[in-house]
Amino acid sequence: MKKLFRYTMLIAFTLCLIQPLKINAATVSDVSSVSVEEEPVADPKLKMDNTKVTLKKGATKSLDVDITTHESDNNDYEVRWSSSNKKVATVSSTGKVVAKKAGTCTIKARLSGTDVETKCKVTVKTTKKISLKYGSRYDKKVTTASLKKTNAATYKDNAGNTYTKGKKIGNFVITGYCTKCNSGSARATSSGKTATAGITVAVNSSQIPLGTKLIIGDHVYVAQDRHGNGRYSKVIDVFFGTSHGSECFLKNIPVYYAK
């Protein structure tokens, strides 16, 4: 009887040990089946250095972009450039914009293989022409021939004195004026001299001092008068006596000091 009791207790004790082991084994099996998901890589970012640009026709502008990527992103992205209107402005593969004609368009930069892009609005403007009107339609026009524009090595004034080129003052708009601008009478100049064809030119005295000798074309003139075109930059009026240029002028004419 005692032996039977002992065996019964031994069996009960053994069952108690086995049951926790089963529970622990199940627990370990559940833990080993759990997977840890990696954090998704963030999309790259693209930013252009300019969002709006205004250019004159024929001008160029180089645009640049900054690319920001996640530290785990090992992709080698390429920037693709495009213009919404190539008639207004074009863009090269390196972001150089060339203004073609007046208007607006959008320049886009996109990362290859993605939808990530950035934009710049480009406005192209044309330079307004300067409208200068003098005298009547019968007046002599200012032309290249009237300024005797050549590639002469030496330059003369009306008295036959010979000069050489000094420092270039700049490129000027050349217009004409005459006695008709002064009711047909002799033209008195700002320097006190009487305006004389082939000698007198009118200048902006803040740009060129009165009395300065100038080479225009291949002839030497003297700055003896002030013109009334203060709101226009770099204009020189050539005195033509009784006739001059009417609604006609030359642009970008180089003017030098005479020495």
Please state the three-class secondary structure of 148-217 as a single string: CCCCCCCEECCCCCEECEEEEEEEEEEEEECHHHHCCCCCECCCCCECCCCCEEEECCCCCCCCCEEEEC
Per the CB < 8 A criterion, the answer to whether 32 and 24 are in contact is no
pLDDT per residue rounded down to tens, the chain (259 residues): 545 555 555 555 555 555 554 444 444 444 444 444 555 557 888 999 999 999 998 899 999 999 888 877 888 889 999 999 999 999 999 999 999 999 999 999 999 888 999 999 999 998 665 443 434 343 445 555 556 555 667 888 888 899 988 888 888 888 877 776 655 556 667 777 888 888 888 888 888 888 999 998 888 999 998 877 665 568 888 888 776 654 456 777 888 999 8
* Whether the model pTM is above 0.75: no
